[in-house]
């Protein structure tokens, strides 16, 4: 999975790459040595739809 933090003047340099770990869980790949870093986890509602993500202990709600 790839992620881009916006706004940015250089989107190609702002791409963050993540490795799939398990259902709804990814870890950032450090660009310098390719080791795994912090976790990004998606949360789902009772219907299985993604409702938020958690990164650095911070929950961000999905905007519909």
Boundaries of every domain in the chain: 2-61
Average predicted confidence (pLDDT) for the chain? 89
The pLDDT of residue 4 is above 70: no
Can you tell me the mean pLDDT for 44-54? Answer: 95
CA pair distance 13, 54, nearest whole angstrom: 23
Task: Please check the confidence at residue 40 and state whether its pLDDT lies above 80.
Answer: yes
CA atoms of 16 and 54, how far apart (whole Å): 16
- 53, 40 in Cβ contact below 8 A? yes
């Amino acid at each position: 999975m790839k992620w881009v933090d916006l706004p940015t003047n250089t989107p190609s340099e702002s791409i963050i790459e993540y490795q799939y770990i398990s259902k709804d869980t990814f870890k950032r790949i450090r660009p310098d040595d390719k080791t795994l870093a912090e976790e990004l986890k998606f949360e789902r509602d009772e219907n299985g739809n993604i409702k938020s993500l958690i990164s650095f202990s911070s929950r961000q709600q999905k905007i519909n």
